[in-house]
């Protein structure tokens, strides 16, 4: 099963990137998860949508060739980061690779609520006509106080969090088989 993973943070030491890498490593026997770099996308400009930049074209191709999409996003001011919204805007106008794709959302923050509000906004965006992703229903990975769930080596070690992620990833794999 091939999964395109998009991390909604451009911070090098992002907790959300660590969560995406954890998922990539933990499930490598059943899922080939490829992280897509969106940090070099230029700001979306309708003047350029007919011939998008190579960075966008490459990401669109990766998503088209995947069986599903994993979004891992932080929460900035109760919403998704601009870098993630920009990438989704490009996708909605450049081949619509997210249309009909089974999609899972996860997110981590240092606050107690995880990324509840940003994931609500992301679900709305992914439901927009130009995006039309098939988001895994009734499964959210809101990882709050994430800084306490990693060890000093940057490894996710919290057993309850790992069990929870295991359950949602199993549901995601079933979702892909169900809607594909």
Phi-psi bin for 96: left (phi > 0), alpha (psi -120 to 50), beta?
A: left
Helix axes 116-126, 82-93, angle to 10 degrees: 10
Class of the CATH domain delimited by 2-179 = alpha beta
What's the CA gap between 127 and 137, in Å, rounded? Answer: 12
What is the predicted pLDDT for the residue at 180? 84
CA angle 105-4-165, nearest 5°? 40
How confident is the model over 6-58, as pLDDT tens digits?
999 999 899 999 999 999 999 999 999 999 999 999 999 999 988 999 999 99
User: Running DSSP on this structure, what letter comes out for residue 147?
Assistant: G
Let me know if 33 is exposed, middle or buried by CB neighbors in 10 A (0-12, 13-18, 19+).
buried
What is the predicted pLDDT for the residue at 141? 95
What are the structural domain ranges in the chain? 2-179
How confident is the model over 57-88, as pLDDT tens digits?
999 999 999 999 999 999 999 999 999 999 99
What is the predicted pLDDT for the residue at 77? 94
Separation in Å, CA 28 to CA 1, 20, 45, 67, 162: 10, 12, 36, 15, 15
Q: Which residue has the tokens 């992002």?
A: 14
79-83, 113-117, 124-128 — which is least confidently predicted? 113-117
């Amino acid at each position: 099963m091939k999964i395109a993973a998009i991390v909604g943070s451009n911070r090098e030491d992002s907790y959300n990137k660590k969560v995406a890498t954890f998922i990539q490593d933990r499930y490598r026997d059943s899922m080939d998860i490829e992280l897509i770099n969106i940090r070099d996308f230029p700001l979306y400009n309708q003047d350029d949508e007919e011939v998008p930049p190579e960075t966008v074209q490459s990401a669109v191709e990766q998503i088209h060739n995947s069986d599903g999409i994993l979004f891992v996003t932080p929460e900035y001011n109760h919403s998704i980061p601009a870098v993630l919204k920009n990438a989704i805007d490009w996708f909605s106008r450049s081949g619509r690779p997210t249309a009909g794709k089974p999609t899972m959302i996860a997110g981590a923050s240092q606050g107690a609520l995880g990324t509840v509000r940003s994931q609500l906004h992301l679900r709305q965006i992914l439901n927009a006509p130009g995006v039309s992703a098939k988001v895994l229903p009734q499964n959210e990975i809101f990882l709050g106080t994430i800084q306490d769930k990693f060890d000093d080596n940057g490894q996710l070690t919290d057993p309850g969090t790992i069990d929870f992620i295991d359950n949602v990833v199993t549901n995601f794999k079933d979702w892909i088989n169900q809607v594909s």
